[in-house]
């Protein structure tokens, strides 16, 4: 099977405001999306100020991943493998079964969405990775790419 890799959107920054006690709050969402082996993976990131402590160099981010099966056969997500980079040059890898304790099964045209988190020691970082998928029909496994996405504390974007 040929591998088709199409980057649909990479690092689009969306900004919106709302008023709370006459203070303008800015929320930055960074989104990336990619199609690999007939599976579309989209990622949105969110800085979590209530779970961060900048004075202790602790920055928490959440990310929402949507996985869509564009193939004509059902697939099961078996494993994940992440590469996580802080802007200070430190990096780490995380791998394991499924995502958030689940190995989702996606029939053709179905989507699966989950939210997870990542802690960094700096105000900026990046993640990318792969999922190991199984074609449920013929039991063959294949890797798909998770697009690289940035995690940036909003005040660093000024």
Domains of the chain: 5-157 (2.60.40.1470)
Task: Please say whether the beta carbons of 63 and 46 come within 8 A.
Answer: yes
Q: What is the pTM of this model?
A: 0.81
Q: What is the pLDDT of residues 11-69, one digit of tens each?
A: 334 344 444 444 444 455 568 999 999 999 999 999 999 999 999 999 999 999 999 99
Task: Look at residue 107 in the predicted model and tell me its pLDDT.
Answer: 98
Q: What is the DSSP letter of 48?
A: -
Q: Which residues of 129-152 are buried (b: 16+ CB within 10 A; e: fewer)?
A: bbbbbbbeeeeeebebbbbbbbbb
Which of 115, 124, 128, 147 minimizes the C-alpha distance to 10?
147
Task: Please say whether the beta carbons of 152 and 124 come within 8 A.
Answer: yes
Task: Please say whether the beta carbons of 72 and 89 come within 8 A.
Answer: no
Q: What is the pLDDT of residues 112-145, one digit of tens each?
A: 999 999 999 999 999 999 999 999 999 999 999 9
């Amino acid at each position: 099977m040929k591998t088709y890799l199409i980057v649909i959107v990479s690092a689009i920054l969306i900004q919106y405001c709302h008023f709370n006690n006459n203070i303008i709050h800015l929320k930055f969402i960074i989104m990336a999306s990619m199609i690999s082996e007939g599976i579309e993976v989209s990622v949105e990131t969110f800085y979590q100020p209530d779970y961060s402590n900048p004075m202790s160099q602790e920055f928490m981010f959440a990310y929402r991943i949507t996985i869509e099966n564009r193939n004509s056969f059902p697939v099961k997500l078996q494993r994940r493998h992440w590469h996580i980079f802080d802007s200070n040059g430190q990096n780490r890898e995380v791998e394991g079964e499924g995502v958030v304790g689940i190995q989702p099964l996606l029939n053709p045209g179905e989507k699966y969405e989950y939210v997870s988190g990542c802690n960094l020691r700096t105000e900026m970082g990046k993640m990318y990775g792969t999922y190991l998928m199984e074609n449920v029909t013929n039991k063959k496994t294949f890797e798909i790419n998770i697009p690289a996405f940035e995690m940036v504390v909003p005040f660093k974007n000024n």
